[in-house]
Amino acid sequence: ARYHAEKIIVSLDIEKKPFGYKLIRGKATSVVPHLIDQWPGSEKNC
C-alpha cells in the first residue's frame, strides 16, 4: 500500500490485527460497500 494509504482488514474472526491495519469486524458483503461510499471520488461523495 502507498505510504498514506489506509490499510483495512474486514473479518468476522481474527485473533490479532497486523500492525498498521484498521480492523473492521463484519461480513465483507456488508462492510465493503459502506467503505467504498466513504472513499473520496466515489459516486456518493462527488
What's the pLDDT tens digit per position in 1-43?
A: 566 788 999 999 988 899 999 999 999 999 999 999 988 777 7
Cell numbers of 44, please? 456518493
Q: What is the pTM of this model?
A: 0.65
Taking the C-alpha atoms of residue 2 and residue 12, their distance in angstroms, rounded to an integer, is 26
Residue type, 40: P
- Would you state the torsion angle of the CA atoms of residues 26, 28, 21, 38, taken in this order, to the nearest 10 degrees? -100
pLDDT score recorded for residue 24: 94
CA 12 from centroid of its chain's CA atoms: 13
